[in-house]
Chain A
């Protein structure tokens, strides 16, 4: 069968592969190359070596964005996963209305980041103006917590679904055995349920981690980095470096930042996957 299929390889593989080359491989390779160049379009690139990288690390707005992104990511990963797991535990208790609750908690996930950001901007600004605090455009703290609340609101439902699927796969005998042995609810949770759903935890932490680092739409729509780039995350900082100002010096800097960002995201995902995978138990 392999032989017959091989003859048909142009038909099966080429269309997707061609689009993949156009949409990913060429832009990726070009991006890598251009990070060592000064340019305004792909065609007028001039090799400058690692100058862009030196400027990127010296750029305070970039290191600030990195700091903001990391502190946002840590808090949002904890908040989202703790609440999502809590909800999943409640919704697997066979309470009345479980399906309705699940439906409601999942819903914000389907709405795009731009629209969500706008909705929360209206709500948060209204609350701030009622309590007499400066609005989001001038209020760094509110911007930070606003982003946490907004993304938690969006992603809790998604992670909850994954945790529910994990909890439903915990064998009933195991829970019965724990009960007979006299384990209380908290011991059962810590010693039986959580070890058994480690693979769900791996996935959810991985997803929230990469989502936090790659966050763009919500950041743009909620605060757009205001005030004074203080709530600007890495993705938005790179975007602004590319497109906010005209001039030959910016695009190369932006591309170098993008490469650093890319390496950072890949490295963090790999480390995280290794770390939590090692805690998974075989069923």
Chain B
């Protein structure tokens, strides 16, 4: 029986290895194409490896960085993601603490609204949201975090509140009796305990904001500001021949930082996903 199991395990390992290689293939294919010369990238040769004649080195990468406003877009994407995630983590966790600790119709009403907003598809609000954002001048990369805070609050409050219900009330009460005001209690006592949930929420929200395409497209002025997903879609949709070489390099340049971040923070990311799903 033991032996049979071992042979079976061996077979599964081999099958999974093949499957993982295939799984990686689409990204590897883009990587190889990003190393080809512009003229030798075509629809029917995308699966071919670069050869000695078609190998272009890092030329496409240099072109992408220099000519396509790539660095600018990268900057906007970073600004938007960082400000939004910080605002969501700080303000939503404070709001969740209030909701879980002060019982009443206001708290349960808010909680219901936040949960409801998670199910509503974005198309329901996309037009009116972009108009509201224009009126309130929230249409720049420096202000758009307010929109993301409002739209990301659902998931964040849900996850924070879920965790806070399990924190014993006594610790907080003790700190209040010792003379802390609610603000001090929050920052000195509650926030440090929230760290694991902060990491999970931060990762989920960062993934969402970083990859989001439709919201920034509708809210930001596309002529002035393009995030990375907007840039890629914009150049594909523009008239005339798309420069395939720099496009491939552009894709790789957006994928590589994600892969590196993932490999470094893998443990937290996978935990965060599992936690987010259980709460959701």
The digit string for B14-39, where 1 denotes a CB below 8 A from any CB of A, is: 00110010011011011001000000
Question: Do residues A27 and B132 form an inter-chain contact, with CB atoms below 8 A?
Answer: yes
- Please name all residues of chain A whose beta carbon is closer than 8 Å to the beta carbon of B154 when the two chains form the complex: 24
Question: Do residues A102 and B270 form an inter-chain contact, with CB atoms below 8 A?
Answer: yes
The digit string for A243-269, where 1 denotes a CB below 8 A from any CB of B, is: 000000001001100110110011001
Known contacts A22-B150, A135-B43, A221-B233; 6 additional CB pairs below 8 A are A19-B147, A24-B153, A27-B132, A110-B258, A125-B46, A206-B280
Question: Do residues A6 and B102 form an inter-chain contact, with CB atoms below 8 A?
Answer: yes
Residues of A that sit less than 8 Å from B by CB: 1-2, 4-9, 11-13, 15-17, 19-28, 30-31, 34, 41-42, 90, 93, 95-97, 100-115, 118-120, 122-123, 125-127, 129-130, 135, 153, 158, 161-162, 165, 203-204, 206-207, 210, 213-214, 216-217, 220-221, 234-235, 238-239, 242, 251, 254-255, 258-259, 261-262, 265-266, 269
Question: Do residues A4 and B182 form an inter-chain contact, with CB atoms below 8 A?
Answer: yes
Question: Do residues A11 and B183 form an inter-chain contact, with CB atoms below 8 A?
Answer: yes
B126 to chain A, nearest CB (A): 7
Q: Flag whether B278 is at the interface (Cβ < 8 A).
A: yes
Please name the residue on chain A nearest to B247 by beta carbon. A118
State A261–B127 Cα separation when bound (angstroms). Answer: 15
Q: Given B12, B146, B266, which contacts A23 in the complex, CB threshold below 8 Å?
A: B146
Q: Flag whether B125 is at the interface (Cβ < 8 A).
A: yes
- Assuming the A-B contacts A2-B103, A123-B46, A129-B44, are A27 and B125 also in contact, with contact meaning beta carbons closer than 8 angstroms in the complex? yes
Please name the residue on chain A nearest to B177 by beta carbon. A1
Q: Which residue, A11, A15, A19, A25, has most C-beta atoms of chain B within 10 A?
A: A19
- Assuming the A-B contacts A95-B13, A262-B121, are A100 and B127 also in contact, with contact meaning beta carbons closer than 8 angstroms in the complex? no
Chain B contact residues, majority secondary structure? helix
Residues of B that sit less than 8 Å from A by CB: 9, 12-13, 16-17, 20, 23-24, 26-27, 29-30, 33, 43-47, 87, 91-92, 94-95, 97-99, 101-103, 110, 113-114, 117, 119-129, 131-132, 136, 138, 146-151, 153-154, 157, 169, 172-173, 176, 181-183, 186, 207, 210-214, 229, 232-233, 236, 251, 254-255, 258-259, 261-263, 266, 269-270, 273-274, 277-278, 280
State A30–B129 Cα separation when bound (angstroms). Answer: 9
A175 to chain B, nearest CB (A): 15
B86 to chain A, nearest CB (A): 12
Please name the residue on chain B nearest to A100 by beta carbon. B20
Q: Given B148, B153, B210, B236, which contacts A118 in the complex, CB threshold below 8 Å?
A: B236
A106 to chain B, nearest CB (A): 7
Q: Given A12, A115, A130, A251, which contacts B229 in the complex, CB threshold below 8 Å?
A: A115
Question: Do residues B113 and A25 form an inter-chain contact, with CB atoms below 8 A?
Answer: yes
- Please name all residues of chain B whose beta carbon is closer than 8 Å to the beta carbon of A105 when the two chains form the complex: 20, 23
- Assuming the A-B contacts A19-B150, A31-B125, A242-B127, are A119 and B27 also in contact, with contact meaning beta carbons closer than 8 angstroms in the complex? yes
- Please name all residues of chain A whose beta carbon is closer than 8 Å to the beta carbon of B94 when the two chains form the complex: 11-13, 15-16
Question: Do residues A210 and B119 form an inter-chain contact, with CB atoms below 8 A?
Answer: yes
Q: Which residue, A34, A114, A242, has most C-beta atoms of chain B within 10 A?
A: A114
- Please name all residues of chain A whose beta carbon is closer than 8 Å to the beta carbon of B259 when the two chains form the complex: 107, 110
Question: Do residues B131 and A220 form an inter-chain contact, with CB atoms below 8 A?
Answer: no
Please name the residue on chain B nearest to A156 by beta carbon. B23
Question: Do residues A213 and B207 form an inter-chain contact, with CB atoms below 8 A?
Answer: no
- Please name all residues of chain B whose beta carbon is closer than 8 Å to the beta carbon of A2 when the two chains form the complex: 101-103
State A238–B91 Cα separation when bound (angstroms). Answer: 33
State A17–B262 Cα separation when bound (angstroms). Answer: 32
Please name the residue on chain A nearest to B125 by beta carbon. A27
Question: Do residues B127 and A9 form an inter-chain contact, with CB atoms below 8 A?
Answer: no
- Please name all residues of chain B whose beta carbon is closer than 8 Å to the beta carbon of A19 when the two chains form the complex: 87, 91, 146-147, 149-150, 153
Q: Which residue, A17, A95, A115, A235, has most C-beta atoms of chain B within 10 A?
A: A115
